[in-house]
Amino acid sequence: MIVRPFSKLRWAIPALIVGSLMGCGLLSPTPRETPAPVEAPGMAPSMPGAAPVTWQRPKATWTAASWADLPGWDKDPVQEWWPALWRGCVKPAAAWAPVCAEVRKLGPQWGTQVQDGFVRQWVQSRLQPWRVSAPDGRTSGLLTGYFEPLLDGRRMPDARFRYPLHRAPQGLGVRKPFLSRNELERTPEGRAALAGRELVYLADPLDVLLIQVQGSGRIRLQDERDAQGLPKVVRLAFGGHNDQPYVSVARWLVDQGAFSLEQASWPAIRNWATANPARVDEMMHANPRVVFFREEPLPDPTVGPSGAQGVPLTPGRSIAVDRESVPLGTPVWLDSTVPQVWSANGNGAPTPLLQRLVMAQDTGGAILGAVRADYFWGWGDEALAMAGRTKQSLALWVLWPQGAGPAR
């Protein structure tokens, strides 16, 4: 969700629910707005016939590449990526200090105020692309998606809103593992640990599952009003978990014969729960892991939740990765496709390419391996629909500062 092995945000819907199965013309810049190209050549790809230049990460191999190797590189409106880079440069890794100093000097809106070509030129003059592959040489992997739920809730329970979300209990982190879901809900010790820790109450146990899988969410409080008289919206951020093993409810349902692995999805889980209300509690307790939250104000609803890098995520331009393959704060070129969105009559639209520059700014418990990414779609119903369908083939390249040493 958003970390973690559970980052500050969540585990992806298809990834964690399914488990590890699965411009427009802009202003031309003045000379002062256009940074001078960097002369340092960086690490160029090997000459034909020579051994390729490679770097080894704990879970991945990086091989020096050329810009021509990046499918669709000249088509992505990379100026839309600049704000995500600027946010990432607030907390840069050591290798990124010179580049990020320049990014911060240019400001968060520079990339959106100049023509796309200037941003692309800036990137190419400062960074070097590297193809990411698994230790066994595989260059194809998996792209999934996640989002930030927006759910209705109440501070105080009533006949409808009666499923609580809790802040972390006392002793969490001292006792490992902490009490399981079953122990927390069904034993005197567990109930005592959660007593008085309720943050909000939701109307559906599957909403509890959804926000716990994502690790963060927005709650529209039905019993509190904002200055405009509308339901107040707050954010519940990831506040820890009980260190119990995660068990995929989708995998559990597959094992129960509810549907096949290929059919596993968030809509399929909801459909099963609607048809089997007496077994929902059994399904929930198949997973002993419980996620706890902390409340945060939401002064700007256009800003995403914080990821594992500690910076706000940008819809469509932030991803979660395995940090042993790709360090947090690294630009990544994705080569994948947009998931097929089905219309009401069941006819699918063609699937366009998803080839774009993003930032590695989050992690996830099911986001493991070299060529693996979880794409942040944003928040709300449309993001839910896209995230729930994202299960695409993936190739990726990382962009690393020219002249910098191997990624650590």
| Total structural domains within the chain | 2
Asked if residue 252 and residue 156 are part of one domain, the reply reads: yes
Tokens of 323: 């940090």
Is 90 contained in some domain? yes
pLDDT at 41 over 90: no
Decide: residue 298, CB within 10 A, 0-12 exposed, 13-18 middle, 19+ buried.
Answer: middle
According to the model, what pLDDT value does residue 31 have?
29
Is 134 contained in some domain? yes
Which residue type sits at 149?
P
Assess whether the previous peptide bond of 177 is cis (omega < 30° from 0). yes
List for the chain the helix, strand, coil content (%; round to 5).
25, 25, 45
In angstroms, the Cα distances linking 35 to 97, 101, 102, 104, 335 are 17, 13, 9, 13, 28
- For residues 5 and 253, give the distance between their C-alpha atoms in angstroms, rounded to a whole number: 23
Asked if residue 164 and residue 289 are part of one domain, the reply reads: yes
According to the model, what pLDDT value does residue 195 have?
97
- Any idea what the CATH number is for the domain that residue 161 is in? 2.40.240.50
- For residues 371 and 318, give the distance between their C-alpha atoms in angstroms, rounded to a whole number: 16
Is 164 contained in some domain? yes
- For residues 225 and 245, give the distance between their C-alpha atoms in angstroms, rounded to a whole number: 38
Q: Kind of pairing, strands 391-401 and 141-148? A: antiparallel
pLDDT at 98 over 50: yes
Q: What is the mean pLDDT of residues 72-91?
A: 95
Would you place residue 33 in the very low, low, confident or very high pLDDT band (cuts 50, 70, 90)?
Answer: very low
Locate tokens 């016939």: which residue? 49
Asked if residue 152 and residue 128 are part of one domain, the reply reads: no
In angstroms, the Cα distances linking 160 to 127, 152, 164, 166, 232 are 54, 11, 12, 18, 19
Is 334 strand, coil or helix?
Answer: strand
> Residues 228-245: pLDDT tens digits?
999 999 999 999 999 999
Locate tokens 């951020």: which residue? 237
According to the model, what pLDDT value does residue 158 have?
97
Is 125 strand, coil or helix?
Answer: helix
Is 406 contained in some domain? no
Q: At a CB cut-off of 8 Å and minimum separation 6, what does 41 contact?
A: 402
Would you place residue 51 in the very low, low, confident or very high pLDDT band (cuts 50, 70, 90)?
Answer: low
Is 317 contained in some domain? yes
Asked if residue 333 and residue 288 are part of one domain, the reply reads: no
- For residues 140 and 143, give the distance between their C-alpha atoms in angstroms, rounded to a whole number: 10
Asked if residue 158 and residue 275 are part of one domain, the reply reads: yes
The residue segments making up the domain with residue 331 are 31-145+307-343+353-401
Asked if residue 256 and residue 206 are part of one domain, the reply reads: yes
Would you place residue 4 in the very low, low, confident or very high pLDDT band (cuts 50, 70, 90)?
Answer: very low
Is 152 contained in some domain? yes
Mean per-residue pLDDT over the chain, rounded: 86
> Residues 360-373: pLDDT tens digits?
999 987 899 999 99
How far the first Cα of the chain sits from its last, in Å, is: 25
Which residue type sits at 48?
P
Asked if residue 171 and residue 278 are part of one domain, the reply reads: yes
Tokens of 360: 């590695």
According to the model, what pLDDT value does residue 22 have?
41
- For residues 98 and 20, give the distance between their C-alpha atoms in angstroms, rounded to a whole number: 37
Is 226 strand, coil or helix?
Answer: coil
Is 373 contained in some domain? yes
CB 113 within 8 A of CB 122: no
